[in-house]
Structure 1
Amino acid sequence: MNRILALFLLTTAPLLAQEPSADRIQKHIEKLASDRMKGRGTGSRENAKAAAYIAKHFRKYGLKPLGEDGYYQPFTAKVRRVVVPDSLRKAANVIGFLDNGAAHTIVIGAHYDHLGLGNQGSSLDKNPQGQIHNGADDNASGVAGLLELAQYYAKNDVKEPYNFLFMAFGAEELGLLGSRHFLNHPTLPLDRMNFMICMDMIGRYDPNRGVGIGGYGTADAWPAVFQDVTAGVKFFTDRAGNGGSDNAAFYAKQIPVLFFHTGGHPDYHKPTDDPGKIDAKAEEEILKLEIKLIDKAMRLPKMTFTPVQ
């Protein structure tokens, strides 16, 4: 091996090692969406275990805790169940901060809760009660993406011109409760936020459809960011930013958003949304596309929010 090649491999290996990895994505999803996690229903022990798994990785990546109790921002969620009356459950957001000493911050988020054992009212199965709703695509896939992007930006040895706030939201399935709680009780001033990236169901890529990216119309700068961007997956944009997932809560606060989603499928909100159906390699390419867009956006000043008619 000549010296130039050896030097190239030495200097690029650490960065390449932190790029999104299909193997790590699959491992995260298999952990979060295993039968042992019993569907990560809000208020369950398994939901708390999922939160602890995310916090453990935030700690591993060296992110600063920015919850109200370390990485955690606790709140109370109202759970609307099928068989018994409504109840109140403990829930939490998990929040890690990458401080680059910048004036403004990019938010990257995904919800980690799902439907538990089918008692929370939104299962589409004919007989949901007692069945584990693993939620591999919805939304272990998004959490895997969140962890991969957190690792990439925390470990790439580059001091970016923006800070990053990585957030795993609780109780999204109950009505965006976690993201709305954060926005009403922010641990970082909202006026310091540049834009928000939301990932919800990015694990079932269909090459005929491509990955949808909502929120294209929520900032004056998005067209310039997307210009000439290519990817290893097919993608298309949609102007709207006020639907789909936790991005809608940020849009309501006039924060520009992008929402990544690979589309619906027959296993949506059913016990059959299992890890074996995930396309981790395609998700890896989706995350590489996100990195391209984020990196281009960081070359620009703070975005100006534009409402979508």
Structure 2
Amino acid sequence: MKNISLLLTFCCLLGIQIAQAQQIEVSNLKKHIYYLADDKMQGRGTGSKEVFKAADYIEKEFKKYKLEPKGEKGYRQSFKAKVWKVKVADSIRNADNIIGFIDNGADLTVVIGAHYDHLGTGRQGSSKDSLGVGKIHNGADDNASGTAGLLELARYFSSNNEKEPYNLLFIAFGAEELGLVGSKYFTEHPTLPLEKITAMLNMDMIGRYNPSNGLAVIGYGTSSQWPAIFKDVQAPIKFNLSKDGNGGSDQTSFYKKNIPVLFFHTGGHPDYHMPTDDADKIDYNALKSILDLEKTVVENIMKQSSKMDFIWTN
């Protein structure tokens, strides 16, 4: 009887773990964003010790999920980034992309990306605060929200007990705020052949959902297959499909390499590039809904029988 009881307890616990793997968890999103957007992280400016601490955090999570390292040295792909918006003494800075891979032995791969850097203390430029130099720009929405989404999707797909028909490549990009430097570097020095990538999905500022505007899903026109992929997709949030593949974030680097893209974005707000972009202002339930939507889109991409075609939208 005791052995049966232990077996039932084990099965129950296993069932709980499987159930948790099969859904996006708000608690995980909060954990990631509150860590990355804490004052101790000093705004994660490119080249700072804090942004390298953020990179360590992302790498640790990738290891926890047993993602295969797919950088040039372990999970890391290192490069140089130049601060070009303002004159500073340390204008050339070290940066990293953090890259993890779910290898399902497939011919094609879906890339999921988000950038993890922000403006630091305003000295690298781009602050919307006229007196912002020296103030911590926490970047909870921009882009701790996207990074949290990246980590939670990596956790989900690595622990859902399914061998997907496509591989999945998760990239946390560095130096996006300095001109999409990390994603440009990856597409010029890919650690996986670009011709094997069927689509790239990017998350940047997905934490401040406004019901009156909805979620923008940009890039719908970059492949003739997007309409079929989105057919019958439903979500508790409003989302708007936009054709253009260009935009002010990392999907643009892939679009310029003839790869179909989607860019998930909840739009601007008064705290954009301000010291007031803090973790307590994120709509975590809406963020979960956005990631559930993206998860469904990824799963629908993987139902395609061939590589997605590419269309220039401008």
Q: Distance in 2 between matches of 1:96 and 1:188?
A: 11
Q: Distance in 2 between matches of 1:10 and 1:131?
A: 46
Q: Given residue 197 of structure 2, which amino acid in structure 1 is its aligned partner?
A: M
Equivalent of 2:52 in 32, 48, 51: 48
Equivalent of 2:233 in 229, 233, 239: 229
CA 1:9/1:290 → structure 2, altered by over 3 Å: closer, same or farther? farther
Q: Note the residue ranges of structure 1 that are not aligned, 5 or more in a row.
A: 1-5
Q: Distance in 2 between matches of 1:56 and 1:10?
A: 24
Query: Which SS does the other structure have where 2:97 is aligned?
Result: strand
When the two structures are aligned, how many residues end up with a matched partner? 304
Equivalent of 2:303 in 296, 299, 302: 299
CA drift at 1:128: 1.2
Pairing of 1:34-73 with structure 2 (within 5 A): 34-73=38-77
| Residue in 2 that maps onto 1:212 | 216
| Residue in 2 that maps onto 1:149 | 153
Q: Given the alignment of the two structures, is residue 268 of structure 1 paired with residue 256 of structure 2, yes or no?
A: no
Q: Distance in 2 between matches of 1:225 and 1:196?
A: 14
Q: Distance in 1 between matches of 2:89 and 2:132?
A: 17
CA drift at 1:86: 6.3
2:122–2:132: 8 Å Cα contact kept in structure 1? yes
Query: Which SS does the other structure have where 1:121 is aligned?
Result: coil
CA drift at 1:84: 2.9
C-alpha distance after superposition, 1:143-195 (max 9, x if no partner): 00000000000000100000000000000000000000011011000000010
Pairing of 1:239-250 with structure 2 (within 5 A): 239-250=243-254
Equivalent of 2:185 in 170, 181, 186: 181
Query: Which SS does the other structure have where 2:74 is aligned?
Result: coil
1:141–1:203: 8 Å Cα contact kept in structure 2? yes
Query: Which SS does the other structure have where 1:95 is aligned?
Result: strand
Q: Given residue 16 of structure 1, which amino acid in structure 2 is its aligned partner?
A: A
Q: Given the alignment of the two structures, is residue 110 of structure 1 paired with residue 114 of structure 2, yes or no?
A: yes
CA 1:16/1:92 → structure 2, altered by over 3 Å: closer, same or farther? same
Q: Distance in 2 between matches of 1:112 and 1:54?
A: 9
CA drift at 1:81: 5.6
Q: Distance in 2 between matches of 1:278 and 1:93?
A: 25
Query: Which SS does the other structure have where 2:110 is aligned?
Result: strand
CA drift at 1:233: 1.1
CA drift at 1:289: 0.5
| Residue in 1 that maps onto 2:4 | none
Q: Given residue 202 of structure 1, which amino acid in structure 2 is its aligned partner?
A: I
Q: Distance in 2 between matches of 1:65 and 1:59?
A: 8
CA drift at 1:126: 1.1
| Cα RMSD (Å) | 1.7
Query: Which SS does the other structure have where 1:91 is aligned?
Result: strand
1:80–1:86: 8 Å Cα contact kept in structure 2? no
| Deviating 4+ runs (over 2 angstroms) | 8-16, 80-86
CA drift at 1:232: 1.7
Q: Given residue 77 of structure 2, which amino acid in structure 1 is its aligned partner?
A: Q
Q: Given residue 190 of structure 2, which amino acid in structure 1 is its aligned partner?
A: P
Q: Distance in 1 between matches of 2:66 and 2:162?
A: 14
Query: Which SS does the other structure have where 2:308 is aligned?
Result: coil
Q: Distance in 2 between matches of 1:165 and 1:228?
A: 26
Q: Given residue 17 of structure 2, which amino acid in structure 1 is its aligned partner?
A: P
Q: Given residue 82 of structure 2, which amino acid in structure 1 is its aligned partner?
A: K
The alignment's TM-score, normalised by the length of structure 2, stands at 0.94
CA drift at 1:14: 3.4
